[in-house]
Structure 1
Amino acid sequence: MMYPLVRELAVDGVPVTVTCRVLKIARQPYYRWLAQPVTGSELGEAYRANALFDAHRDDPEFGYRFLVDEARDAGESMAERTAWRICSDMGWWSAFGKPKRGKAKNPGPPVHDDLCAVVDKHGVIRHEFKADGPNELWIGDITEHRTGEGKLYVCAFKDVYSNRIVGYSIDSRMKSRLAVAALNTAVARRGDVAGCIVHTDRGSQGGFNWSSQHLVVEVFSGSSSAGSRSGGSSEVEVAGSSEVPAECRGGVLGADRCGAVA
């Protein structure tokens, strides 16, 4: 924008008419800008950007579609296209999003071995969810429901052997604590679940994006949390604990995305 330069030159004694003629800009828009440097639309855009930034700071795994819902809850309504434009201009992308340009790479393999994968007679790898007893294999997922008061998210874990829901949680926001609370509930209800395999998809629910299977081995302390690809300090500490069964070491549930054990 050339208008601040015109104002500075005017303070130094250069006539506005001469400056505008040299810069090939009209004087009327300059005088309108001088009377109101920040327009109402620009101020509204700034408020929307602040609301999106606050939501992105709290939930860096959210894309613009989820950020616009958070901004609306904060009192700044806008269209999804507007949210996309602001996030694109400011570079606020989901922490788990794939790059749109350049040499995009496919996501790597899960941290733990896929214990449910089998190879059929045609050489195709597929999953078989079978269990010979309770607390051997749990599967979990998150579903979204629209209500009159907003979106509602439900995370549930089911025992493959009994086909019963062993733990669930409900929240108005899809954060890692939703999956952590459901898994904690299942562990508290079932008691001794050492060696149980928890299978989830590679969705956007916090740390579960990094690994599709986990071994529940933190039951000696009554706690569990979402997985971590980097294998932080909490994961190493639990994996090396003498209280963890030997067959379960190395496949633990680590810290959530904030690095704190739930």
Structure 2
Amino acid sequence: MSKKHKTYTTEFKAEAIKLIEANQGNVSETARQLSISMQTLSNWNTKAKAGTLAGTKQYSPDLNALLEENKKLKQQLKIAEMEREFFKKGSSVLCQRKSVRYAYMKQKRYSFPITLMARLLHVSVSCFYDWLKRGVSKRTIQRNQQTILVKIAHEETRQSYGYIRLTKYLQAQGIKMSMYAVRQIKALNHLYCKRHKRFKRTTNSDHNRAIYENLLEQQFSMTRPNQAWSSDITYIWTVEGWLYLAAVKDLYTKQVVGYSLNERMTTQLVCNALNMAIHNQKPTKELIVHSDRGSQYCSHEYRNILEQYGFQGSMSKRGDCYDNAPIESFWGILKNELVHHYNYQTREEA
């Protein structure tokens, strides 16, 4: 049989508080005198001091109302903070189809109240629970599997492939997925390509040496190998210092046919790259060798090699990087995939 809870009148509580004061604040002695629980009397005393116990001299109905209003304002502030936090994390979901919003609610249901999320995402609570009962659709399972595959591929390619190249990478592994799906998954999961640029000037056009005319005029489509080459210098940062790379690219095969590395950006650097390309390809005299107007490419040593083999020299217009776009594009890919994601300690390591 359950024990009945004893109730006390407002007048009794007020008299009990007066008795505590008469006992110089001794709650335990007062509780013994009144034969009531010390915990109960302590609670009354606390409320009396706060001015919230009716019948006591400290009691203030206005203060009580103010406390209630303060409590409501705190609740409203808490809700506003949750709304702000929710939108900070889930604003991109708002424009997605309902199944995506339901899935997001399920994911965040232990962090935010269901009713709050439903209101902010413009869905009903009952529809959300109906969706939960139905279980995960085949389409959702497929998309989840695709998302995992895209994330893995994104890491395997060092976070450097856009959605087009990433799609081709997946297809090469026998995974059927459209470019649209890959692009959407990358966007929804914030899978962005890492890009970084540490600038180092490699072209010094401030010289009085002879230059060649631009024979290509940004016409980079060739009909056969060794018809035209594009050459340039780039840089790689290491903890030990800068490392310079000169390369020669065939505009028909799109392959690098010669290169050279050195800790200094010298004439010998570009000459070595050109000599390697000549040794590897053995081109005919009709070959066009294009470069920028850097002092290394205008040097007597470099020009002598061109004249020795009967090649035609060609140079970009001053300050126009598009005139040498094919190899500039190659530098971008090289650095994004093999340079910017690494912190090389030495030149040899790079």
TM-score by length of 1: 0.40
* Structure with a larger share of its residues in strand: 1
Q: When the two structures are superposed, what TM-score results if normalisation uses the length of structure 2?
A: 0.32
- Which is higher, the Rg of structure 1 or of structure 2? 2
Larger proportion of helix: 2
